[in-house]
Amino acid sequence: MTEPENRCRLVLIVPDIADADEQAKIVADALKGGDVASVIVPQYGLDDGTFQKHAEKLVPLIQNAGAAALIAGDSRVAGRAKADGLHLSSNAGALSEAIDKHAPKLIVGGGNAADRHHALEIGEVRPDYIFFGKLDGDIKPEAHPKNLALGEWWASMIEIPCIVMGGTDPASALAVAETGAEFVALRLAVFGEPARAPSVVAEINALLDEKAPRFED
């Protein structure tokens, strides 16, 4: 399978499932559906030890599918689970510290960029990517208009890639792609009906193949 390098790609956010085996199976199935650039693993309400067990099941299967495994928030769990990176929903200072400590061994990105001012502050510390939205921010069918606007503004002028959180409707991926963002993050749009996750991933890739704008080299 050739990676669609010249258009917006899919980032999955692991669903909140307490049973680690069930969670791993659902994610593994989804990854069979087609191209996924990376998978973000949030801690949700798990204690650190349980989160590590979940991460240790998820990371190898994500990597075996050719995607990057990004652990949200906990650098120790990221290290122990041999993840590819660390996703931080924090300010520029915390992101800068994590970059100094873990890059380039780990991908470090994220940020809490609710407006242009904070986005630029995050950009100054040169993360591997910036994230617009919240990992659990998919509460409506469409992507949040503010995140779409921030993604479009950012993609038009700054080289650091951006991920924009989509909505609960798989078609929201196209609205994100149309902003020029490099990546669209989806959670409930893919995992809302776990049995359909592989076919939804395939549908989203087909939609982006057909309609997403292409990046200029």
Q: Tell me the pLDDT of the chain averaged across its residues.
A: 96
- Per domain, the residue ranges of the chain are 9-210
Task: Return the number of other C-beta atoms located less than 10 Å from residue 136's C-beta.
Answer: 13
The CA-to-CA distance between both ends of the chain, in Å, stands at: 21
Residue in the block written with tokens 């921030």 = 150
Predicted local confidence at residue 69, as pLDDT: 98
- The H-assigned helical ranges of 65-144 are 75-80, 92-102, 116-124
Task: Answer for the pair 197, 29: CB distance below 8 angstroms, yes or no.
Answer: yes
Q: Which of 6, 26, 7, 8 has its CA nearest to residue 16?
A: 26
Mean predicted confidence (pLDDT) in 59-75: 98
Per-residue pLDDT, averaged over 112-140, amounts to 97
pLDDT over 60 (residue 148): yes
161-208 pLDDT, tens per residue?
999 999 999 999 999 999 999 999 999 999 999 999 999 999 999 999
pTM of the shown model: 0.97
Give the Cα separation of 7 and 184 in Å (integer). Answer: 11
List Cα–Cα distances, 147 to 14, 31, 59, 150, 154, in angstroms.
20, 25, 28, 5, 10
* 9-210 is a CATH 3.90.1150.10 domain: no
Alpha-helical regions (H) of the chain:
20-31, 48-64, 75-80, 92-102, 116-124, 145-157, 172-177, 188-191, 197-211
**pLDDT beyond 90 at 3:** no
Band (1; pLDDT cuts 50, 70, 90): very low
pLDDT band at 73 (very low <50, low <70, confident <90, very high): very high
Q: What is the mean pLDDT of residues 40-69?
A: 97
Residue 8 pLDDT more than 80? yes
What is the pLDDT confidence band of residue 83, given thresholds at 50, 70 and 90?
Answer: very high
Q: Are 36 and 13 in contact (CB under 8 A)?
A: no
Is the per-residue pLDDT at 217 higher than 80?
no
Alpha carbons within 13 A on the beta-carbon side of 126: 4
pLDDT at site 216: 81
Average pLDDT for 12-17: 98
- Coil, strand, or helix at residue 145? helix
